[in-house]
Amino acid sequence: MTITNLAELLSESHSDYVIYDLGRRVQAIQADTFKAICAQQRPYPYPLQDHAWFAVVFWPQLKAEQPEPFLWFLKIPLDERGLLNQATQQDFMTHVIALLGQQITGALNAEQEQQLQQSAYLFTPSEAKRAALHAQLTQRWQKAPSRYFAAAQQELHSPTNDGWQQLGIQGIHDVAVRLAANPKTTQAIAQHFTSYPESLQNALAEALEHTTPPSELMQPLLSALTSEHAATRVNALRALAGFASDHSAAPTVEQQLHQLLPSANMDELVIITARLWPALQGQLMLPYLLRVAELDNPALFAGVVRDILRVPDTRIHALGLVQRNDLPVALYQAWQQFMGKTA
């Protein structure tokens, strides 16, 4: 059999595997979806900077216990249709097979490891995304959290003036993915979120954005969007990212975003398109783009629109909107300027 894509390479090497997106939010990609993406049967759903950002976690099949997995962080360019670039897949697979053969789960010697790491398609994720991935995998495989878990949980329950400075970021991510099993911690976060020290609040928001938190957190986070502190509003938006993808919670999130938009600043607008893009698939698209246009920042407008047009779920809504003949003047002018520069 001729191997034509990454999913086939993993299957033919008799590997079990799980795939995560590491671009926008750290989230699992179903195996059937991954196979379709690799076969160019559907566009990549979470593009960022015209690339797909994968964590490929794989291990040999037919083991009594799951061995320590192998891990590739892959950055694969997308073509103009949003499909995974076929030539890039072939190039990476040729490199891997030349080093390892088709049995990719074999142990690497130091020279092979060094040569593999020289691939142009491997990347190093941020510390936060590595922590989010590790937390999700340990929960998925019912393994214990890191040794930083208890200290992070304690600090979130009873925040101190400087205790957050000693926390390991892994512990905060471990807490975030386990909130459903820890209702008292959820309650503590709901109570203290807006009063946490800024650095702790930042780290917690960055962890929560890669999860779908318990429903009990949604209202406190929505209320935080009215905070007088800009950093708290941004952190609340990040922490709400999972709710924007939740069908039952999404209407409430969209309603609150609608109220925020008339006064939203640049940072808040960027977070919405980067992390809460599912909320832009309906009626929120018009007031959102109008607010971006009203800031009279052509670079911001161009960056936001390009991002929206790259994501399959928002592209069709944006293109349908700008074809209307009753657009607000500010949005019409911003769109015309954008089209003039991209023509």
Query: What is the tens place of the pLDDT at every residue in 74-95?
Result: 999 999 999 999 999 999 988 8
Could you give the CA distance from residue 99 to residue 51 in angstroms, rounded to a whole number? 25
Angle between helices 230-239 and 266-275 (to 10 degrees): 10
| Those residues with Cβ within 8 angstroms of residue 109's Cβ, 6 or more apart along the chain or in another chain | none
247 lies in some domain:
no
Domain count within the chain: 3
Alpha helices in 65-197 (DSSP H): 86-100, 110-117, 127-140, 149-157, 169-177, 183-192
The domain of 288 spans 257-343
Distances (CA, A) of 211 to 108, 201, 276, 277: 33, 16, 12, 15
Q: Could you tell me if 206 and 295 lie in one domain?
A: no
pLDDT per position as a tens digit, 287-303: 999 999 999 999 999 99
pLDDT exceeds cutoff 90 at 139:
yes
Q: Are 6 and 56 in contact (CB under 8 A)?
A: yes
206 lies in some domain:
yes
Q: Could you tell me if 227 and 159 lie in one domain?
A: yes
Q: Per-residue confidence at 107, pLDDT binned at 50, 70, 90?
A: low
Return the exposure string of 39-77: e unless at least 16 CB atoms fall within 10 Å of the residue's CB, then b: bbeebbbbbbeebbbbbbbbbbeeeeeeeebbebbbbbe
Q: Could you tell me if 222 and 136 lie in one domain?
A: yes
Q: Could you tell me if 11 and 110 lie in one domain?
A: yes
Could you give the CA distance from residue 68 to residue 292 in angstroms, rounded to a whole number? 47
Average pLDDT over residues 308-336: 93
Q: Per-residue confidence at 160, pLDDT binned at 50, 70, 90?
A: confident
Locate 285 and state its tokens: 């698209």
Who has greater pLDDT, 4 or 241?
241
Q: Per-residue confidence at 65, pLDDT binned at 50, 70, 90?
A: low
Task: Choose the weakest-confidence range: 58-62, 151-155, 169-173.
Answer: 58-62
pTM assigned to the model: 0.93
Could you give the CA distance from residue 280 to residue 257 in angstroms, rounded to a whole number? 10
pLDDT per position as a tens digit, 20-32: 999 999 999 999 9
Q: Could you tell me if 285 and 316 lie in one domain?
A: yes
- pLDDT of res. 98: 83
Centre a 10 Å sphere on the Cβ of residue 156 and count the other Cβ atoms it contains. Answer: 25
Q: Could you tell me if 156 and 73 lie in one domain?
A: no
Mean pLDDT score of the chain: 92
CA angle 146, 149, 150 (to 5 degrees): 130
Average pLDDT over residues 108-115: 72
- pLDDT of res. 97: 84
- pLDDT of res. 106: 65
Q: Could you tell me if 166 and 101 lie in one domain?
A: no
Q: Per-residue confidence at 71, pLDDT binned at 50, 70, 90?
A: very high
Q: Per-residue confidence at 149, pLDDT binned at 50, 70, 90?
A: very high
pLDDT exceeds cutoff 90 at 282:
no
Q: Per-residue confidence at 3, pLDDT binned at 50, 70, 90?
A: confident
Nearest to 221 by CA among 204, 180, 141: 204
Q: Could you tell me if 214 and 132 lie in one domain?
A: yes
Who has greater pLDDT, 312 or 160?
312
Q: Per-residue confidence at 2, pLDDT binned at 50, 70, 90?
A: confident
Q: Could you tell me if 143 and 226 lie in one domain?
A: yes
Q: What is the signed CA dihedral for 264, 266, 270, 275, rounded to 10 degrees?
A: -40
Locate 12 and state its tokens: 């033919």
- pLDDT of res. 340: 83
pLDDT exceeds cutoff 50 at 227:
yes
Q: What percentage of the chain reaches a pLDDT higher than 70?
A: 95
Q: Per-residue confidence at 343, pLDDT binned at 50, 70, 90?
A: very low
Q: Per-residue confidence at 341, pLDDT binned at 50, 70, 90?
A: low
Q: Could you tell me if 113 and 170 lie in one domain?
A: no
